[in-house]
Amino acid sequence: MIPLSGPDITMREIEEVVGVLRSGRLSIGPKVEAFEKAVAEYTGKRYAVGVSSGTAALHLAPAALGVGEGDEVVTTPFSFVASANAALFVGARPVFVDIDEDTMNIDVSRIEDAMTPRTRLILPVHVFGLPCDMEAILEIARKRGVSVVEDAAEALGAEVGGKKAGALGDAGIFGFYPNKQITTGEGGMLVTDSEKVAKLAASMRNQGRGETSEWLEHERLGYNYRLDEMSAALGLVQMERIGELLERRAQVAQAYDERLREVGEVTVPAEVEGMKRSWFVYVVRFAAGIDRDEVSRRLHDAGVESRPYFPPIHLLPFYREKFGYKPGDFPITERVSASTLALPFHGRLTEGERDRVCDAVEEAIPRAKK
């Protein structure tokens, strides 16, 4: 079976992690600080706060910006569920805006219509590593006096007009799960230019301990969201290799593009002028007459793993029960969701494996017509 994803790990990462284990300093140490500095410098932000996951960063960013009970957060229903859950974590309500059918990102033209006097935050998601129209989003935010947190968990290395995605709003977050551009196993990062936001996030990740507090003194409500030293050591080497890692992924994506754009009834990922995608997953879309799930079953039978990306958040059981969402509420998201499929994708995917995947897709399509 060709797996959906896989980390790109060398002996350098292994040696660094083993070095931490031998040091006896496994938490709250120099590797986290060095990793934070590397990410801050890469993104061009003043501060970076390492945490245990991208989801933890999504929780801390709105919390540090003062979003809370009764507020509203405008975001997309086409994402990993954590982006919407982040609003609920702080007592706010996620307000969904349908997506652009081509980019699969939030439709900026619909954002203002979704805003109310309770809106405190816009949370755009750079879906599949393709940046949102941040210039337009920031203009709306400035006009309406609200904050912006970029969910760049899938977009480390992406650029908007030459600027790094995740570094344009009041705060940005990244995730380092094993299928991401770089990995720490689990782990995430919050970046910002605000000293206040950075200090609050750093305190809340460590049970609310203040910057100068004694060991068991806690100034505010906090969480155990610390990033450990082993993960940071792994991430630090990955950041040193990031140019190589991104280039490998881009080469795999280009090879897929060249082969699959010639296949009828398959649409390859979109390109947008002025936007540089950082390749997270490779998601294709099938024409209306193709049963996506049948394609996936046939790929599995051919030894190729695949997965639908993403189910609409508003139709997940919890959201339907809590907010009363139903099919048809966000029709573009639902249509895109029903027709997209992630194919095996990582930087070490061989030419032979890519050919197997593409052959399997070509063979599946005629047999998957509705």
Q: Which residues are annotated as catalytic?
A: 180
Judge contact between 75 and 312, C-beta under 8 A.
no
CB neighbourhood size of 150 (10 A): 29
Which residue in 184, 229, 194, 189 sits closest to 205, CA to CA? Answer: 189
Which residue in 183, 70, 61, 166 sits closest to 116, CA to CA? Answer: 70
The secondary element (H helix, E strand) that includes residue 123 is strand 119-123
Distances (CA, A) of 366 to 2, 265, 308, 340: 22, 10, 19, 17
CA 3 to CA 13: how far, in whole Å?
22
Which residue in 174, 167, 184 sits closest to 227, CA to CA? Answer: 184
The DSSP result for 132-180, as a single string, is P-HHHHHHHHHHHT-EEEEE-TT-TT-EETTEETTSSSSEEEEE--TTS
Which residue in 228, 236, 196 sits closest to 42, CA to CA? Answer: 236
Here the tokens at position 94 are 């996620």
Judge contact between 160 and 135, C-beta under 8 A.
yes
Maximum alpha-carbon separation in the chain: 67
Phi, psi of 127 (to 5 degrees): -70, 130
CA 128 to CA 79: how far, in whole Å?
9
Here the tokens at position 309 are 């990306």
Phi, psi of 24 (to 5 degrees): 80, -5
Judge contact between 99 and 336, C-beta under 8 A.
yes
CB neighbourhood size of 254 (10 A): 11
Here the tokens at position 74 are 């405008």
Cis-peptide, bond into residue 310, ω within 30° of zero: yes
